[in-house]
Amino acid sequence: MLAYAVRRLIATIPVLFIVAVLIFMLLHLGPNDPAAVIAGDFAQPEHIERIRQQLGLDQPLYAQFFDWIWRVLQGDLGASIYNQQPVLNLVLQRAEPTIALTLSTISFAVIVGIPMGVLAAWKAGSIVDRVVMVLAVTGFSLPVFVLGYILVYVFALNLQLLPVQGYVSYKDGLVPFFRSLVLPTLSLGMIYVALIARMTRASVIEVLNQDYIRTARAKGLSTPPILLIHALKNAAIPIVTTIGLGIALLISGVVVTETVFAIPGVGRLTVDAIVRKDYPVIQGVLLIFTVVYVLLNLLVDLSYSLFDPRIRYQG
Amino acid sequence: MISYKCVRPILAAALLTSGLASTGAVAQEQSVLRVVPYADLRNLDPVWTTAIITRHHAYMIYDTLFGLNEQLEPQPQMVADYEVSEDGLTYTFNLREGLTFHDGAPVTTADVIASIKRWEARDNAGGALAEVTESLTAVDDDTFELTLNTPYGLVLESFSALTGPFIMPESVASTDPFEQVQSHIGSGPFVFNEEEWVPGNKVVYDKFEDYVPREEAPSGAAGGKIAKVDRVEWLYLPDPGTAMSALLNNEVDYWEAPPVDLVPVMEADPNVSVDVQDPFGLIVLLRPNHLYPPFDKKEVRQALAYMVDQSEYMTAMVGDPKYWQTCPSVMMCGTPTETSAGGAERMVTSDMAKAQELIDQAYDGETVVVMHPTDHPSGPAALITAAKLRELGVKVELQAMDWATLTSRRASKNPPNEGGWSIFHTRTGLGAASPIEHSGVAAGETAWFGWPENEKIEELRIAWGREADAEKRKAIMDELSAEIMDYGSFVMLGQYQMPSAWRANVSGVVKGPILGFWNIEKQ
């Protein structure tokens, strides 16, 4: 398995290079000029030109690209051209809220989604199944920002139980930390609850029709051990895949939630950088996203053998 | 059945005892004013960028030699007193006693002169002053002398320009004007808390305990700037719905620029006050590209002024008529330079017959590229202009883009069909009260995007700046207005004010063209 993991890691290098080239070309071939954005609305044209020279944006594209790649290879992702903060610092400054929101959302989705899916599979075709599926479809269909506003209206403005916006670090107290995460987690998590519930239901229904389940029943096993030990474990691979991809999607997909709840996370950093054409930040963040995505996929692949001992990886 | 009214106190008590309802704990220790500014603070150097949010930041941490009061009159700020020689060529300024930077160092004339020179290299008003400056020298640590090579009527106005000069330590002010300063030490009423700055989210300012305010009452950017809160936090909330909810829920105290359509919701809450903080507000401009057809022809540019109806633009951009006015002037209305000379009132209501006549005379069927910023308040103006031009039979290509792309694209001198442009719209503030600072007026080497060339406008602009007599200056302004209207440099589309909203327990908001948080108290 170790050899397989190493081989997969080495295989990420060309992927990263291709992604780097694509990101750079897509950004620089557009009609945007960060120097004009930086200079402000009332800047003189010659001032914009001076800023362009100062930022090196007047250099040929290939020179800018190789300069950037050379610095990345040395571990330097550059600095924001607006506030001159190192990109890595900006990402690290924003990582905690995004990781906290991602983990709380995926935990919520797993804790609620898997039992819902198992229940729907067990009672497939019944009213319980239909209610669960209606809830799942609703959760899937409701846009995050709509649900977010509804939750804010009810729990923050009306009941005044939770804050409207903001993020409180765990370092400033666990209770305020969890309070700040409740509404964002609920609004973002509904989609993933729905996704995991549907995937669990489908997988468990398929497993429940297998011969070994019939054998277990024939041996007189009660329903809980059949569902939880035999069915759920054998249905785990597609569920784990969904959860793994869900985490990867969440890390890059929390933008709307971070905006609605004013959480200073990596998603908002990315969108702000795109809006203002802050090339070093966009390039750096997307490269980091790519690495995280590749690593999460690798972890998901490796976890398959834990659930299904028949799966073995060849070096 | 148990109603919510019964349950709510129990829930609240449970939360209180469990420590869940901890909001406001910090506020009890020190007074904190939480503000939602109109934009994110991206750059910290007010010389490096003309962004208005950076100007707000500059007024928090830096002090200025003079400041404009509510009536737009320059008032001494860091300057204690000054003298002007009889020939009007030498100005001697004495600094106030006790001025210190945030690091404890005294403010000296060496700091002042370095700050002025850096500002002159970038700013329109500063550049104009530099052109008439013979020398700028320190007499001693507290007195400096400005000698002019020709009489200039705008020395005090220049030093009180909204764009600076902001006084920095000499070591910081000696930074190349085209590079950002690395240190953010000022001598203003608040200290920038760099450690707590999270770009894109939060900016923190602490009260500067050693600041020595003037004795006069605060007025605009002038008067005593007394910090009455210990700390000011700017929280950038890009989503208006979230910002409004946060204000209603007492999570923030002041919202600089709520959208007008949300104002009724906030006005309905007795705990929130809504008012206009900047009574001058903003003007909206239509700028044609003078380099390429059809707007290289004067008649087609003139047609634009006959075509527009300011009420249509203002209704689309702002809505509630309480917050906008038509403005029959090329300069900002309500300021000393307002004038309708040269027929500026034609921009207020539409005369499509006259516009059609001018179009028929000079338009040769070229396609007009109108840039439409979909994420900027001027976006609706582009849609109206496109519709009006089509009504006149002009071929229009309306190109949607974000504001950042527009600001990049408008710097291009390429033809409209090769990445250039024909028309863009924008808005500007009180700088539009001076022909020296008004971006649309310059028509020579320093012309703004659109690149008009008109020697007479340039001569009148400079003559206005150099004229010290108020009556003569007014006459020059009238002549300048007539020339701008005839030449068609730009079209005024109206003037509007942005309401601000704050919690009812906040008092002492200073009205004026800049947003400062001195004098504000929070009960």
User: CATH number of the domain that B322 lies in?
Assistant: 3.10.105.10
In this structure, which amino acid lies at residue B430? L
B259 and B388 share one domain:
no
B329 and B470 share one domain:
yes
Task: Determine whether the interchain pair A32/B405 forms a contact, defined as Cβ–Cβ distance below 8 Å.
Answer: yes
What's the token pair of residue A27? 């950004």
Identify which of A37, A161, A176 has the shortest CB distance to residue B407.
A37
B137 and B203 share one domain:
no
Q: Among B127, B143, B173, identify where a domain stops.
A: B173
Q: Do B181 and B195 touch, CB atoms closer than 8 A? A: no
Nearest partner of A286 among A10, A21, A96, judged by Cα: A21
What is the C-alpha end-to-end distance of chain A, expressed in Å? Answer: 7
Identify which of A157, A179, A268 has the shortest CB distance to residue B245.
A157
Q: Return the pLDDT at A73.
A: 85
Q: Using alpha carbons only, give the angle B240, B311, B390 rounded to the nearest 5 degrees.
A: 100
Query: Residues of B with CB below 8 A from A36's CB?
Result: 407-408, 410-411
B393 touches chain A (CB under 8 A): no
B110 and B146 share one domain:
yes
| Residue B378 Cα, gap to closest chain A Cα (Å) | 13
Convert the pLDDT of each residue in B108-119 to its tens digit.
Answer: 999 999 999 999
B140 touches chain A (CB under 8 A): no
Task: Determine whether the interchain pair B251/A41 forms a contact, defined as Cβ–Cβ distance below 8 Å.
Answer: no
Q: Return the pLDDT at B328.
A: 96
B220 and B352 share one domain:
no
B79 and B140 share one domain:
yes
B51 touches chain A (CB under 8 A): yes
Identify which of B15, B180, B241 has the shortest CB distance to residue A84.
B180
Q: Which of A27, A33, A41 to mutate to test the interface with B (most CBs of B within 10 A)?
A: A41
Helix, strand counts (H, E) of chain B: 16, 21
Helix, strand counts (H, E) of chain A: 15, 0
Using CA atoms, how far apart are residues A28 and A30, in angstroms rounded to an integer?
5
Using CA atoms, how far apart are residues B243 and A314, in angstroms rounded to an integer?
55
Q: Return the pLDDT at B29.
A: 67
| Residue B2 located in a structural domain | no
Strand-by-strand arrangement of the B202-207 sheet: B190-192, B202-207, B231-235, B32-36, B254-255, B499-503, B272-276
| Residue B402 located in a structural domain | yes
Task: Looking at the structure, give the CATH architecture of the domain made up of residues A91-307.
Answer: Orthogonal Bundle (1.10)
Q: Among B173, B204, B223, identify where a domain stops.
A: B173
Q: Return the pLDDT at B12.
A: 43
- Would you tell me the crossing angle of helices B379-391 and B310-317 to the nearest 10 degrees? 140
Using CA atoms, how far apart are residues B36 and B27, in angstroms rounded to an integer?
17
Q: Which of B249, B262, B428 to mutate to test the interface with A (most CBs of A within 10 A)?
A: B249
Residue ranges matching CATH 1.10.3720.10 in chain A: 91-307
Task: Determine whether the interchain pair A36/B419 forms a contact, defined as Cβ–Cβ distance below 8 Å.
Answer: no
- B324 has which bridge partners? B496
B76 and B157 share one domain:
yes
Specify the DSSP element, H or E, that contains B503.
strand B499-503
Measured from the Cβ of residue A92, the count of other Cβ atoms closer than 10 Å reads 11
pLDDT in tens, chain A (315 residues): 777 778 777 877 888 888 888 888 877 776 667 777 777 666 677 777 877 887 788 888 888 888 888 888 888 888 888 888 899 999 998 899 999 999 999 999 999 999 999 999 988 889 999 998 898 888 888 888 889 989 999 999 899 899 999 999 999 999 999 999 999 999 999 988 998 999 899 999 988 888 888 888 888 888 888 887 788 877 888 888 888 877 777 766 688 888 889 899 988 898 888 877 788 898 888 888 888 888 888 888 877 777 776 766 654
| Residue B15 located in a structural domain | no
Using CA atoms, how far apart are residues B60 and B188, in angstroms rounded to an integer?
6
| Residue B329 Cα, gap to closest chain A Cα (Å) | 20
Identify which of B241, B411, B428 has the shortest CB distance to residue A42.
B428
Strand-by-strand arrangement of the B367-373 sheet: B324-325, B491-496, B282-288, B423-428, B367-373, B395-401
| Residue B22 located in a structural domain | no
Task: Determine whether the interchain pair B408/A36 forms a contact, defined as Cβ–Cβ distance below 8 Å.
Answer: yes
Burial class (CB in 10 A: 0-12, 13-18, 19+), B494: buried
Task: Determine whether the interchain pair A40/B23 forms a contact, defined as Cβ–Cβ distance below 8 Å.
Answer: no
Query: Residues of B with CB below 8 A from A47's CB?
Result: 122, 178
Nearest residue in chain A measured CA to CA from B44: A83
Identify which of A34, A164, A277 has the shortest CB distance to residue B251.
A164
Identify which of A37, A161, A165 has the shortest CB distance to residue B237.
A165
ipTM score here? Answer: 0.74
In terms of phi and psi (left: phi > 0; alpha: psi -120 to 50; beta: otherwise), the region of A55 is alpha
Query: Residues of B with CB below 8 A from A259's CB?
Result: 238-239, 242
| Residue B310 Cα, gap to closest chain A Cα (Å) | 22
Identify which of B51, B236, B241 has the shortest CB distance to residue A149.
B241
Q: How many CB pairs under 8 A join A and B?
A: 144
| Residue B230 located in a structural domain | yes
Nearest residue in chain A measured CA to CA from B237: A262
B267 and B316 share one domain:
no
B316 and B339 share one domain:
yes
B94 touches chain A (CB under 8 A): no
Using CA atoms, how far apart are residues B348 and A92, in angstroms rounded to an integer?
53
| Residue B11 located in a structural domain | no
- B371 has which bridge partners? B399
B374 touches chain A (CB under 8 A): no
B389 touches chain A (CB under 8 A): no
Helices (H), B345-500: 352-362, 379-391, 403-409, 455-466, 470-487
Task: Determine whether the interchain pair A31/B419 forms a contact, defined as Cβ–Cβ distance below 8 Å.
Answer: yes
Residues in chain B where the model's pLDDT stays below 70: 1-29
B265 and B381 share one domain:
no
| Residue B83 Cα, gap to closest chain A Cα (Å) | 33
| Residue B14 located in a structural domain | no
Query: Residues of B with CB below 8 A from A164's CB?
Result: 242, 245-246, 249, 251
Q: Return the pLDDT at A253.
A: 63
Using CA atoms, how far apart are residues A37 and B375, in angstroms rounded to an integer?
14
CATH code at position B142? 3.90.76.10
The total number of structural domains that make up chain B: 3
Query: Residues of B with CB below 8 A from A266's CB?
Result: none
Q: Which domain holds residue B128?
A: 52-173
CATH code at position B222? 3.40.190.10
Identify which of A31, A45, A152 has the shortest CB distance to residue B405.
A31
Q: Which of B242, B251, B265, B369 to mutate to test the interface with A (most CBs of A within 10 A)?
A: B242
Task: Determine whether the interchain pair B251/A40 forms a contact, defined as Cβ–Cβ distance below 8 Å.
Answer: no
B246 touches chain A (CB under 8 A): yes
Q: Do B299 and B362 touch, CB atoms closer than 8 A? A: yes
Identify which of B19, B43, B198 has the shortest CB distance to residue A93.
B198
| Residue B301 Cα, gap to closest chain A Cα (Å) | 22
| Residue B16 located in a structural domain | no
B83 and B108 share one domain:
yes
Q: Among B125, B143, B173, identify where a domain stops.
A: B173
Task: Determine whether the interchain pair A41/B428 forms a contact, defined as Cβ–Cβ distance below 8 Å.
Answer: yes
Nearest partner of A44 among B437, B447, B53, judged by Cα: B447
B429 and B288 share one domain:
yes
Q: Which of residues 3-22 of B touch A (CB under 8 A)?
A: 4, 8, 11-12, 15, 18-20, 22
Q: Return the pLDDT at B4.
A: 42
Using CA atoms, how far apart are residues A48 and B431, in angstroms rounded to an integer?
20
